Chains A and B, each alone.
Chain A
Amino acid sequence: MTTDSTSRQADQIPPELLAEIEERITHYPVSKRSASLPLLHLWQNHFGFVDDTGIEWIATKLELQPVNIYELVTFYPWFRREAAGKTIIRVCRTLACAMAGSYQVREKFCAATGVDPHDHSHGFGHAPPTSPDGKFSVEFVECLASCGSAPVALINDDLHERITPETVETIVKELAS
């Protein structure tokens, strides 16, 4: 992982993030280790990804070894060690959505955002496929628990339902503006 001395995330923790981290740890009075996932979420939400200094910082904070955090970042698909696009489009791939056309929807999203549709790199801490301008990532994810309004996509924090190839264009235009 590239972590040069000027971009070390651990050196750039703003006071608000630190306060949130301290507060979050209090939710786990029995074991601080339980705060691992919450801290990773707070970190990734702030920095966009978790670099090696982040892994070490969180481990030290929770009195763990770096490997205890590293093994989470490489297991849970949500976490990444590289920057993703500013907008992340997560298209549901699973049965109900596939029946309703999610494979075409993913391809349309790729075409509209410039993401390589043949790139399926994913997981183990990698960022999802991202457009050359860094604006968008598009990836397939598994069932988003909205099968009744298939096909769906989670775009950043918002669920978009009953997407059609035609509405993809509109959605991407709105996101880009």
Chain B
Amino acid sequence: MVSLIPQPHPRERRVIFENISRPGWSNDIDTYVAHGGYEQLRKALGMQPQEIVDAVKAANLRGRGGAGFPCGIKWSFIKRDDGKPHYIVVNGDESEPGTFKDRYILHNDPHQLVEGVLIAAWALNVKLAYIYIRCEFPHAAKIVWNAIKEAKARGFVGKNILGSGFDCDIYVHQGAAAYICGEETSLIESLEGKRPYPRIKPPYFPAVLGLYMSPTIVNNVETLCHVVHILRMGPEEYSKMGTPGDGGTRTMCVSGDVMRPGYYELPAGAVTLGELINDVCGGLRPGRKLKAVIPGGSSAKVMRADEVYKIKGADGVEKEIPMLDVRMDAATLASVGTMVGSGGVMVMDDSRDMVWALNNLNQFYAHESCGQCTPCREGSLWMSKVTTRIMAGEGVASDPANLKTIADNIAGRTVCAFGEACSWPTQSFLAKFPEEFAAAASGGK
């Protein structure tokens, strides 16, 4: 059904993708249960809810949807006994260009997600959860829906789960092809049946005023799957797989100019960018040199291959490291001015034109802005028009400066983080490859 499941690379540590890589694996409940499935749910129901929240905190699990917020801290915003209804909404919108991991979980290991949702539901006193899946995954919606039915038939979902007295229902909800629905408050509006205009924070933090204005936890598909393994391994062993601030494994989705694109599950920070590209992904095509990498989904700021970064080591001493030596974990990528984001690593070799690449992304953002705020609606369109014009050979010398001004006037001035997402590519491409933009704008194309 979904083809891309290469055998693990020796550097990988498959936890989330362990089942999927098993020979003869299938996505039905019998196979899942035969490999220990739903045992962590059973264990969870015997634990105090607070113990689960504490375990997720101690595991240093960060959200895998893009923003990287510490999951346990997010969960602790929910007051379990405040008398209000609470909801979980699973973000299966997976639309950030470069990201392709939730697709495989949803298609090939839906029960892992359902188990994660149920554990979270018990911990947060949630009786109703929705799994929001982008409609471009029609098979995934059917597969997950079928998994929920199978789980219900076994007493894992619905009333009095495993005799615990705890009730929880889960439903699948399909999107309708709008990238903005991945933004959590937009996703909630969409789930409420409205145009998906993001809500302004404050006051609309989902954990306070979320779905139906009730406390709601929005988590990415992969994030909730990690919860199952935190319980299975124990937070200490689990967190040891990563770095101190970024526990567990991270799925790196590598696309573009490498010999072996695909997803690779690696302990957070276990490899450098160079090891990821050259070792894990088999390097570049013959005769090609690396030019640029977008490390965490298209919104992450681009890195240039000959860049040297100054970062502080664990000993507090600042040192210079080349781009290929940057470790792939949340803190390191943040310290070099970009982000690990959703794990979408897009690699570009020296055959690529940076103006062309930025124009492609600008067209994406111009198409996907929800249109609610003027700087984003107008700015994303202008940026796209300017780079399109440059590509048509009709640029003017002031275009790069204009692009920067437009981008600078979007970021920080909008309702949602799409404003940053659409301006960071333009800002970073211009800052890192000024000579290419200058040449192209002055008729070089």
Q: Do A and B bind each other?
A: yes
In angstroms, Cα B191 to Cα A158, docked, is 25
Instruction: Looking at the assembled complex, report how far the CB atom of B199 sits from the nearest CB atom of chain A, in whole angstroms.
Output: 16
In angstroms, Cα B134 to Cα A166, docked, is 30
Across the interface, do B179 and A34 meet the contact criterion of CB distance under 8 Å? no
Across the interface, do A99 and B4 meet the contact criterion of CB distance under 8 Å? no
Instruction: Bin the interface of chain B by size.
Output: 35 or more
B367 proximity list for chain A (CB < 8 A): 142
Given A75-B178, A95-B357; A147-B97 close (CB under 8 Å):
yes
Instruction: Looking at the assembled complex, report how far the CB atom of B347 sits from the nearest CB atom of chain A, in whole angstroms.
Output: 9
Closest residue of chain A to B190 (Cβ to Cβ) is A37
Closest residue of chain B to A40 (Cβ to Cβ) is B176
Across the interface, do B253 and A37 meet the contact criterion of CB distance under 8 Å? no
In angstroms, Cα B3 to Cα A68, docked, is 39
Across the interface, do B103 and A31 meet the contact criterion of CB distance under 8 Å? no
Query: What is the 8 Å Cβ interface bit string for chain A, positions 134-177, against chain B (1 contact, 0 not)?
Result: 00000001111111111000100111010000000000000000
Chain A residues bordering chain B, tally (CB within 8 A):
44
A47 interfacial by beta-carbon distance below 8 Å:
no
A98 interfacial by beta-carbon distance below 8 Å:
yes
Across the interface, do A142 and B4 meet the contact criterion of CB distance under 8 Å? no
The 8 Å CB contact of B364, one of A34, A90, A142, is A142
Across the interface, do B4 and A149 meet the contact criterion of CB distance under 8 Å? yes
Across the interface, do B174 and A37 meet the contact criterion of CB distance under 8 Å? yes
Query: What is the 8 Å Cβ interface bit string for chain B, positions 260-277, against chain A (1 contact, 0 not)?
Result: 011100000000000000
Across the interface, do B99 and A78 meet the contact criterion of CB distance under 8 Å? no
Instruction: Looking at the assembled complex, report how far the CB atom of B116 sits from the nearest CB atom of chain A, in whole angstroms.
Output: 20
Across the interface, do A148 and B360 meet the contact criterion of CB distance under 8 Å? no
The 8 Å CB contact of A145, one of B3, B102, B128, B196, is B102
In angstroms, Cα B255 to Cα A98, docked, is 11
Closest residue of chain B to A33 (Cβ to Cβ) is B193
Among A31, A37, A75, residue most surrounded by chain B Cβ atoms (within 10 Å): A37
Across the interface, do A94 and B97 meet the contact criterion of CB distance under 8 Å? yes
A154 proximity list for chain B (CB < 8 A): 136
Given A40-B176, A146-B100; A95-B361 close (CB under 8 Å):
yes
B69 proximity list for chain A (CB < 8 A): none
Across the interface, do B171 and A27 meet the contact criterion of CB distance under 8 Å? yes
The 5 residue pairs across chains A and B that have the minimum distance between CB atoms: A76-B176, A36-B193, A147-B255, A33-B193, A96-B255
Q: A residues touching B (Cβ–Cβ < 8 Å)?
A: 27-31, 33-38, 40-41, 62, 68, 71-72, 75-79, 90, 93-96, 98-99, 141-150, 154, 157-159, 161
- Write 8 A-B pairs (CB below 8 A) sorted by A numbering: A62-B193, A68-B193, A94-B361, A95-B97, A95-B98, A96-B255, A145-B100, A147-B100
Q: B residues touching A (Cβ–Cβ < 8 Å)?
A: 2-4, 85, 94-100, 102-103, 128, 134-139, 171, 173-179, 190-196, 212, 253-257, 261-263, 298, 344, 346, 348, 352, 357, 360-361, 363-364, 367-368
